[in-house]
Amino acid sequence: MSSYIIGVDGGGTKTVAVLWDYNGNEIKRFVSGFANFSISKEETIKNIEDAISNVKGNHEISYIVLGIAGRINNNLRLEVEKHLNKMFNTTTKLITDGYLALNSVGYDLDATMIIIGGTGSVVYAKNKEEIVSIGGFGHILGDEGSAYHLVLEAFRYMINDIQSNLKVSNFTKEMFEALNIKEIDEVKDFIYSKSKDVAASKAIFVSNLAKEGNEVAIKLLTTEGESLGLQAVLALKKLGINEVTIELKGSFLLNAPYVKENFLEVLKNNKIKFNISENNNEPVIGAFNLAKKIIQKERKLNF
C-alpha cells in the first residue's frame, strides 16, 4: 500500500512541495520557482514538476494535492491533473491556493474562513461540505482589500487631485516625492510598465503617510479593510451562518495600519460571531488535510 502524500503550494514567486507519510510527518520539502499559469503555463508546469520530483525520490505516492494561485478553468485543471498523474503514476487533485489555505485552518471545525489580503486578495469560507469564495478575480477585475488595489486607488486619487484642483493635496505631494516623480503622466507610465508585485510594494508609502496622520491615506486604508470585511460578510451570508473561525493571511492585512481593525469592525457591525485562529499553519498543510480526507473517503482507509 502506498503511504506517502505530496502537497504543493504554488504562488506568484515560489512553489513549495512537501512529502508526508500518512501520520503527517514531514519527510522532505523543496522550493522551486513560481506557479502561476497567467504568467507562463510552460514554466509553471516545469516548476511544479521540479518541486514534485525533488521530494518524491523513490517513494511511492498515493496522492498529490496541488494548490495554484489564481482561478483555474476546468480544461486546464483536467490537462494538468492528467499530465501529472501519468508522470508520477499517482492521483493528482488541482485546486486554487485559496482553497488549499482554507483546508489548513481548523480542519476539524464545521465553519471556517480564510481571508487573504496580500498583493492580491480573496475570501474562502466553508460550512461543513459547502464552500464559497468571494473575490480572487485578480488585479484587473478585483483584488479589493489588497496592497495592489490600495496603490491603484492612491494613484486614482492623485490623478483626480491634479486634474480637479488648483492646489494639490499634501497626500499627492508626499506620494510624488516618495515615488520620485514630477509629473502625473509618470503615474501612468509606472502602473502600466511595472509588475503587480512591484506596484503593490508602493503601498508602504501610503501606510507611512497614514501613520503620520494623513487623512487621505487613512481613508484609503480604511476602505480596503472595509472591503475585505464586506466580502467576508457576503461569504457567510451565502453559507447561511453568522459564527465562524477565521484565519487572517497576507502581510497587507496583518501589517498595514487601519486594515485589520476596519475589517474586524465590519464583522462586528454585521453581528458576526467569530474567533481568530492562531494556529498559523502553512497553506501547504491544507494539502495533507485534504488528501487525508479524500483517501479516507474514497479508499476507506483510516490513518
Domain boundaries for CATH 3.30.420.40 within the chain: 4-104+282-298, 110-278
* DSSP H or E stretch at residue 123: strand 121-127
Q: Which three cell numbers stand for residue 113?
A: 474562513
Q: Are strands 4-10 and 243-249 parallel, antiparallel or unpaired?
A: unpaired
What's the CATH superfamily of 4-104+282-298? ATPase, nucleotide binding domain (3.30.420.40)
- What whole-number distance in Å separates Cα of residue 242 and Cα of residue 281? 24
Among the residues of the chain, which ranges form H helices?
41-56, 74-88, 97-102, 138-141, 147-164, 170-179, 185-193, 196-200, 203-211, 215-239, 251-255, 259-269, 285-298
> Is residue 263 exposed (0-12), middle (13-18) or buried (19+ Cβ within 10 Å)?
buried
Residue length of the chain = 303
Structural contact between residues 15 and 8, judged by C-beta atoms closer than 8 angstroms: yes
Q: Which phi and psi angles does 116 have, rounded to 5°?
A: -110, 115
Q: Which CATH architecture group holds 110-278?
A: 2-Layer Sandwich (3.30)
pLDDT tens by residue, the chain, 303 residues: 458 999 999 987 789 999 999 989 999 999 999 888 877 889 999 999 999 999 999 999 999 999 987 668 899 999 999 999 999 999 999 998 888 988 888 777 889 999 999 888 999 999 988 999 998 887 778 789 999 999 999 999 999 999 998 899 999 999 999 999 999 999 989 999 988 888 999 999 999 999 999 999 999 999 999 999 999 999 999 999 999 999 998 899 999 999 999 999 999 999 999 999 887 788 899 999 999 888 877 766 565
